[in-house]
Amino acid sequence: MAEDCIFCSIVSGEIPGRIVAETDHAVAFLDANPLAPGHTLVVPKQHYGRLSDVPGDEAAELFDAVHELSAAVEDAVDADAVSIGINDGEAAGQEIPHTHVHLVPRFDGDGGGSFHTISPASESPTDEELDEIAATIRGD
């Protein structure tokens, strides 16, 4: 548990949270400032800053919970869809430094955007540039 971490305090029960699911290594609770009714956060119980800090088995459990909750959250508020995402790092908009997955219920005509609206489009890369980036990610 990290000191002064609001999500660690919710996980430990030190401050109340509206918990909606719990497994050995993950907890889900309602966002206190929801973007939509039912906005839910899924967090590892241990304090990890970034997704890549989470050990593989705990990450698998985290995403199992996301998988289970996607339908449960959508149904609970009679939504039409769910946006699921992680602000992974400050430059991506992460404000709470305890990694978490957002499940944001979406409604037909709610005026929100898709994942493609979170970042300005980059200039179209050449085929060579795409090949080079793909090779780098693969570790060729």
CB of 38 to ligand 5GP, least distance (A): 13
Binding residues for ligand 5GP (CB under 6 A): 6, 17, 29, 31-33, 87, 93-96
Nearer to ligand 5GP, 85 or 125 (CB): 85
Q: Which is nearer to Zn ion, 28 or 36 (CB)?
A: 28
100 as an active site residue: the answer is: yes
Taking the C-alpha atoms of residue 83 and residue 63, their distance in angstroms, rounded to an integer, is 14
Among candidate residues 39, 98, 100, 102, the one labeled active-site is 100
Smallest separation (angstroms) from ligand 5GP to the CB of 77: 16
Residues with Cβ < 8 Å from 9, sequence gap 6 or more? Answer: 15
At a CB cut-off of 8 Å and minimum separation 6, what does 28 contact? 19, 20, 21, 22, 40, 41, 42, 43, 65, 69
Residue 103, binding choice from Zn ion, ligand 5GP, none, Cβ under 5 to 8 Å by partner class: none
Binding residues vs Zn ion (CB under 5 A)? 2, 5, 7-8, 47, 98
DSSP line for 112-139? ---GGGSSPPPPPPPHHHHHHHHHHHHT
Residues identified as active-site: 100
